[in-house]
Amino acid sequence: MEPYENVISQCRAMFPRLALGRLLPSRSRRPHVCPASIRTFSQAKFSPPRPHGKSFIHRSELKQAKRIVVKLGSAVVTRGDECGLALGRLASIVEQVAMLQNQGREMMIVTSGAVAFGKQRLRHEILLSQSVRQALHSGQNQLKDMSVPVLEARACAAAGQSGLMALYEAMFTQYSICTAQILVTNLDFHDEQKRRNLNSTLHELLRMNIVPIINTNDAVVPPPVPSSDLQGVNVISIKDNDSLAARLAVEMKVDLLIALSDVQGLYDRPPGVDDAKLIDIFYPGDQQSITYGTKSRVGIGGMEAKVKAALWALQGGTSVIIANGTDPKVTGHVITDIVEGKKVGTFFSEVKPAGPTVEQQAEMARHAGRSLASLLPEQRTEIICCLAELLTEKKDEILTANKRDMEMATSSGRFSQALINRLSLSSSKLNSLAIGLRQLAVSSRDSVGRVLRKTRVANNLDLEQITVPIGVLLVIFESRPDCLPQVAALAIASGNALLLKGGKEASNTNKILHQLTQEALSVHGVSDAVQLVSTREEVEDLCRLDTMIDLIIPRGSSQLVRDIQRAAKGVPVLGHSEGVCHVYVDSEAAIDKAIDVVRDSKCDYPAACNAMETVLIHRDLLRTPVFDQIIDMLRTEQVKIHAGPRFASYLTFSPSEVKSLRTEYGDLECCMEVVDSLQDAVDHIHRYGSSHTDVIVTENEETAEQFLQQVDSACVFWNCSSRFADGYRFGLGAEVGISTARIHARGPVGLEGLLTTKWVLRGEGHTVADFSEQGSMKYLHENIPLPQGVFS
């Protein structure tokens, strides 16, 4: 089977619905053309097109890109052996391009691969020819070793162009999209008549919803030679597909050029070098800070050529991103991720932001955090007390900023009442915050550097386990600006650096609270230890900073927490996704206690994660005064009741039946369900709860103890409100959140949850060889008692 037919077979295997007898359409078969009327702007999933001439400033604006060029480098299209195409990779790229085309965008592809495809085909032909000749001359079936001569690139291109195009056509046909091949040379751009013809052809193809597949005509172009191109908007010679894609992008007034290569993007030095850093955003003035390495294993360009072409296109009004098209982890969605504005590859921008990037903020925070951790406990205490004083001194300014946020959130109509309630600050809240910070300042003196255990390993060889900060924390929170000083104070007390990302709805309040935090930190010269991320960073992008962030702590809705847990693959997340808290009213519950606990658990602050969402009633209490008074109280408090399946079955006319027993309402709503026994209640909690906080109301101590032992939640209470599940109420001073995880920290996470440990061994030239069979020393492993408050 010759290589051309082999590719057809592979293509059929990838696309089982492919009904083409051959990859190229027969003359009798008319290609399907989607009329332009099918694709209207009203159906498009992006904003109306903008006037061309200015590139996008932020990644988030890339969603508006209508006309897009995808440039596929040789390393992306070809296999690792440089002979043949990477069919699976190419198929995933075609799928993404087709998806964007069907959204109403105008897609064009600048592709390499003809030389590799032709090399595969010609090599097969040469080997076949040699084997036939050898068999005729020798008359034997055994063939000698055959060598393949060096194949000339132009001949390979000529042999491979038709097969490459046929492959693209077969793949795009699966998505009802037609393609057209355009082969160009330098003359097609420098000859005015040819340039106009090319421009007209491409516009007509785009109008008919056809994807142009463009390549340099490598069968006739001369070998690349150094030239003085890339000196201005009107002079760029087509010497490789990078310069072709740039010239085409400017010529066709393209919104976005995506250049896919075999590296993640642009690095400040060759990617294989130690400490090489991927550049998130590259500005024209940053060229001198880049050290380029060698070009890729295939192709004639290299990163320097890509950067020059990208800057030339940027100057012409086209946004550019260089990204990895070969990584199997991202190839299947790299193009769509870029268009969605996600942080992928290197984004070229003409406008440099006034402030530091989030990566720079993380570096600044880590550096200042180390200084913060080295301060004396009394100095960290002084900073926290200073912040507490500022919260009361600047109360009016804080409340004014908060009022502005409240008014904007209310008028926008985009936020629920529960979220607006979380956004609100008051004088009493600020006073409680200040009290909590002072409490934390006193209790945190013995935190960082505390010796947990001390062991005499051998004579003059002592081992200590001491508490140390985790490193750099990233706290992402929605609404609730009171979270900022709480978390900042805990980070300061534990010696951790901190990145804060608040919601836009609280931007004014967060800004002034962060300013006050930095003012307090400046008392001891560590103001950079707490950073507020104010750039347009997506939460998902922040979660990918696994080399800069040590722990992520989400504070907000269950959806936010789930999104962060899903996105943060390389960084641990401390938190809970939901707060489905239960109150179980036992058959031996005191009526007054039951009413008070249920009322406070649900009505004190319904939007809190520790508010009751389900009340479980023992079956024996139905149609008793206890049950009737609980129902009356909930109605008086205007709590909407949703009946669980069993509860509904007992009633002739029941409240609306619950849609899910795992619902976190966050409002004056709750589920009511009936259980037969204590074990039934425990089983229900384990099945439908979120391991947050669960309560039993009973006068039977034995029943209560069984509940406290059996329920596997972070907080389990007896005869008290679920609202007590809070760091301040537990005496922790403040909390960064409540964790339902089983590793590291659980329940309200205060100071202790933000510390880890390290081991310190002090010796006098000891070696492991000293303790071998022939050695002179023996292990003692004696625990040394520690006086209270011992520090390393």
pLDDT digits (tens, 9 = 90+) for 133-172: 666 666 555 545 556 567 777 888 888 888 889 899 999 9
Top mean-pLDDT range of 297-311, 566-580, 582-596 = 582-596
Other C-beta atoms lying within 10 Å of the C-beta of residue 144: 9
Q: Give the dihedral sign, CA 493/499/504/507.
A: positive
Distance, CA of 608 to CA of 20 (rounded, Å): 60
Mean local confidence (pLDDT), 508-523: 97
- Indicate where the chain has its CATH 3.40.309.10 domain(s): 581-735
Instruction: From 651, 669, 603, select the one nearest 660 (Cα to Cα).
Output: 669
Residue 289 pLDDT > 80: no
Distances, alpha carbon 786 to alpha carbons 454, 464, 783, in Å: 7, 11, 9
CA distance 139 to 785: 92
Q: What's the pTM value of the predicted model, to 2 decimals? A: 0.75
| CA–CA gap between residue 700 and residue 516 (Å, rounded) | 50
Helix (H, G, I), strand (E, B) or coil at 636: helix
Pairing relation of β-strands 497-502 and 472-477? Answer: parallel
Check whether 187 has a pLDDT greater than 70: yes
- Give the closest residue to 549 by CA, choosing from 531, 566, 527, 536: 531
Whether 654 has a pLDDT exceeding 90, the answer reads: no
Res 382: pLDDT: 97
CB 741 within 8 A of CB 565: no
For 4-32, what is the mean pLDDT?
Answer: 45
Beta strand extents in 217-275 (DSSP E only): 256-261
In the chain, where does the domain assigned CATH 3.40.1160.10 lie? 59-348
What distance in Å separates the CA atoms of residue 770 and residue 201, rounded to the nearest whole number?
Answer: 82
Distance of alpha carbon 281 from alpha carbon 356, whole angstroms = 12
pLDDT, tens digit (0-9, with 9 covering 90-100), for 601-640: 999 989 888 999 999 999 999 989 999 999 999 999 999 9
* Residue from 40, 99, 51 nearest 255 by CA: 51
pLDDT at residue 559, rounded to an integer: 80
Q: Which 8-state DSSP code applies to residue 25? A: P
Query: Residue 15: pLDDT above 80?
Result: no
Residue type, 62: L
| SS3 category, 398 | helix
For strands 755-762 and 747-749, give the pairing.
unpaired
Please name the helix (run of DSSP H) or strand (run of DSSP E) that holds residue 155, with its range, or none.
helix 153-173
Q: Edge-to-edge, what's the strand order for the sheet holding 319-324?
A: 178-184, 210-216, 106-111, 67-72, 256-261, 319-324, 346-348, 281-282
CB-based burial, 249-270: b 16+ in 10 Å, e otherwise: bbebebbbbbbbbbbbbbbbee
Mean pLDDT of the chain: 85
Look at residue 121 in the predicted model and tell me its pLDDT. Answer: 79
Q: Is the pLDDT of residue 43 over 70?
A: no
pLDDT category at 372 given cuts 50, 70, 90 is very high
pLDDT at 56 over 90: yes
Q: Does residue 130 surpass a pLDDT of 70? A: no
Cα distances (Å, whole numbers) of residue 170 to 14, 83, 175, 213, 216: 11, 21, 10, 13, 21
> What separation in angstroms does the CA of 60 have from each of 57, 99, 108, 347, 748?
9, 19, 22, 11, 35
Tell whether the model's pLDDT for residue 23 goes beyond 50.
Answer: no
Contact between 603 and 637 under an 8 Å Cβ cutoff? The reply is: yes
Top-level class of domain 59-348:
alpha beta
In single-letter form, the type of residue at position 673 comes to E
For residues 259-288, give the mean pLDDT: 86
Q: What is the spatial distance between Cα 35 and Cα 208, in angstroms, rounded to a whole number?
A: 5
Split at pLDDT 50, 70, 90, the class of 1 is very low
CB-based burial of residue 23 (10 Å sphere; 0-12 exposed, 13-18 middle, 19+ buried)?
buried
CA nearest neighbour of 502 among 494, 491, 514, 520: 514
Q: What average pLDDT does the segment 174-202 reach?
A: 91
Ranges 77-86, 384-393, 556-565, 774-783: which has the least confidence: 77-86
Residue 543, classified by CB atoms within 10 Å of its CB into exposed (0-12), middle (13-18) or buried (19+), is buried
> CA-based angle 433:499:568, to the nearest 5?
115
pLDDT more than 70, % of the chain? 86
Handedness of CA 257, 263, 264, 265 (dihedral sign): negative
Residue 39: pLDDT band with limits 50, 70, 90: very low
Please give the DSSP secondary-structure letter assigned to residue 267: B
State the pLDDT confidence band at 790, using cuts at 50, 70 and 90. Answer: low
What is d(CA 492, CA 383) in angstroms, rounded to the nearest whole number?
A: 8
205, 302, 571 from 277: Cα distances, Å: 41, 18, 19
Domain 358-567 has CATH 3.40.605.10: yes
Could you give the CA distance from residue 281 to residue 339 in angstroms, rounded to a whole number? 16
- The conformational region for residue 547 under phi > 0 = left, psi -120 to 50 = alpha, else beta, is alpha
- DSSP secondary structure letter of residue 129: H
Ordered DSSP codes for 655-694: PPBPS-TT----SSEEEEEEESSHHHHHHHHHHH--SSEE
Mean pLDDT of 642-662: 88
Name the pLDDT band for 216 (thresholds 50, 70, 90). Answer: confident
Burial code (b: 16+ CB inside 10 Å, e: under 16) for 408-434 equals bbeeeeebeebbbbbbbbeeebbeebb
Q: What CATH number was assigned to the domain covering residues 581-735? A: 3.40.309.10
Share of the chain above pLDDT 90, in %: 55
pLDDT: is 207 or 115 the higher one? 207
Q: How far apart are CA 410 and CA 46, in angstroms?
A: 27
Rg of the chain in Å (alpha carbons): 34
Tell me the per-residue pLDDT of 303-345, one tens digit each, with 9 for 90 and over.
888 898 999 999 999 999 999 999 888 888 999 999 999 889 9
Residues of each domain in the chain carrying CATH 3.40.605.10: 358-567
User: Cα 152 to the chain's mean position, in Å?
Assistant: 45
State pLDDT tens for residues 448-472: 999 999 999 999 999 999 999 999 9
Q: Encode pLDDT of 381-435 as tens digits.
A: 999 999 999 999 999 999 999 999 999 999 988 888 878 888 999 999 999 999 9
Asked if residue 768 has pLDDT above 80, the reply is yes
